Amino acid sequence: MSDSVPITVQTVRLSDILTNGKAYEVPLFQSDYSWTAEELGDLWEDLSGLHRGGSGRHFMGSIVLQRVSETTYRLIDGQQRLATLSILALAVVRKLENLAAGGIDADANRERARLLRRTFVGERTARSLTYSSRLVLNQQDNSFYQDYLVQARKPPNPMALPDSNRLLWEAQLYLEGRLGELFGADASGADLAGFLDETVAPRLIFIQVQVNDDLNAYTLFETLNARGISLGPGDLVKNYLYSLTSGSGPDLSFVDNTWQRILAAAGQKEIPDFLRCHLGSLYPRVRRERLLHTIQQRVPSREAVIDFLNEVEIDAELYSALNDPAHDYWRESPEARRYVRMLSLTNAAPLYPVLLAAHRRFDFDEFLRLLKLAYVTGFRLSVAGRPSAEIEPFFNRAAKEIRKGAASKPRQVFELFREAYVDDDRFESALATLSLPAAGKSRARLRHILYEIENYRSSRSLDPGVDPGTIEHVLPENPAAEWFRSFTAGHASRLVQRLGNMTILEPRLNRDLGSAPYETKRETYARSGYVLTREIVSEEWSPSAIQARQRQLAETAVRIWRADFD
């Protein structure tokens, strides 16, 4: 580690960054270029405002640099802005070269293009006579940036480019087009050069944060990110792991290939939650915003990276399967598919560390019992929720004991997290007042509850995803006037989405009911094939009738959603 001050902060101009002869390397596996016309339009509005507005300055935010050598810096944050401003410089150079090629002040414009390219982009190499850039982008984008944009070449098939390469090319075209609009068909080379050299470069202002080692760089980056800047937690972890495997060679290739397989299994957006689950068997509770810090503790060195990724990859496949009932992992077990499908309707995510730990040590039959336990526990939590900070330590402790071999049976696992399990009284009380709209994300959960109770009452096995039954509101969502003999407007709005007001009805019977009076509905319910619906026999449908029916449903639910070991 350097003996110098670990972090320095200063205000710099774009000209201080791009014209100082320093090279900037985006970490090899940093995020790809992602600016679209929306971000480019915002930037152009600022730049054209500077051009029209005289002597003002424009603040561009912060960039984070890690010093690699006297002349080279790793660009930890700010690559989207610096890449775009470099493309702007290339667009100006290209405009000047086109003017020279067209015979317009040819010698002067050719010299302006040469000077600006050398100042803002990079030198021409003596051996190949190709242009180079002092800005090096990430693995996905750098070869395209260097081979096409820097060399002023058009790609043979822009529409076939990878997304980020295409966005780089579109940024070049966009900025060239806006330059043409700003300066018109009769643009002079002097005006174009002056726009870049005298307006943009000295008047765009950055806060430059420079750090001198990996740990400071990524710790600072985590802090910035926690305040809404730039990358997400998964990107931070990825960059940290790659920073420990600096340079090239087998280790770097292994890390990259393994990380890509983990991404493919767990999903890009799911990576932070997946990593929290993986770490959940090692630590009492891993907060999302402390994910990088926790992994820095777990993976302090280059040697530890490979072991960590090997462990993570094993869990990634099961994590993917827990979120996908059609996954090949469950191919031989329809019962497992059913539990996994139902997990998505519950608050079972805090139990995922338990499942990730158990799949390494339990045989499939015992794992299946634990999967059912996770579903039941998660369902109870979704009805009578408890704060994550309160319950996660119990599940994480259970996962840790499984990994150690101290808990080898589902009953032992249950005893380890029993304090997080919602007891009967609390579950029944919460369900007795539950309201669920029969629309949006709540609809599937509501159908699941009604069908599970119907199956329990009728000893059938109806699948709510296949059965054609519809959700019927006894008190209609838009009640006619006669309903207000039993309900006030306030009662109706509060009770219409209550579980006690819901049932299942055949489409042919439901089609014509609408907001018919209760007497008509009750006659129709008596002809239904659903036990849950035929049981609605109250003489009058009123607030007290809804509440009484819901208490009965809650009593049944306690018997349905019960752990085998409770």
Domain ranges for the chain, please list them.
7-214, 229-429, 434-560
* pLDDT at residue 320, as a whole number: 94
Q: What is the pLDDT of residue 50?
A: 86
What pLDDT shows up at residue 213? Answer: 63
CA distances in angstroms from 492 to 437, 482, 495, 533, 545, listed in the order given:
14, 12, 5, 20, 13
Q: Is 6 exposed, middle or buried (0-12, 13-18, 19+ CB in 10 A)?
A: middle
**Helical residues (DSSP H) of 195-323, grouped into ranges:** 201-203, 214-226, 233-244, 250-266, 271-279, 291-298, 302-322
Rounded Cα gap, residues 227 and 64, in angstroms: 15
Please give the pLDDT value at position 389.
Answer: 81
Q: pLDDT value at position 339?
A: 95
Instruction: Please tell me the distance from the alpha carbon of residue 39 to that of residue 152, in angstroms, as a whole number.
Output: 23
End-to-end Cα, the chain, rounded Å: 55
Dihedral angle of Cα 116, 118, 121, 127, to the nearest 10 degrees: 140
The pLDDT, as a whole number, for residue 237 is 82
CA distance 410 to 566: 12
User: Which pLDDT belongs to residue 68?
Assistant: 85
HSE-CB for 233 with a 13 A CA cutoff: 20
Closest CA to 24 of 62, 78, 60: 78
pLDDT of residue 45: 85
**Rounded Cα distance, 82 and 13, in Å:** 12
| Inter-residue contact 297 to 334 (CB < 8 Å) | no
List all residues 6 or more positions away from 185 whose beta carbon is below 8 Å from its beta carbon: none
Whose structure tokens read 């966005």? 167
Q: What is the pLDDT of residue 519?
A: 93
User: Which positions of the chain have pLDDT values less than 50?
Assistant: 1-3, 226-230
The reported pLDDT for the residue numbered 228 is 44
Q: Is this model's pTM higher than 0.75 or not? A: no
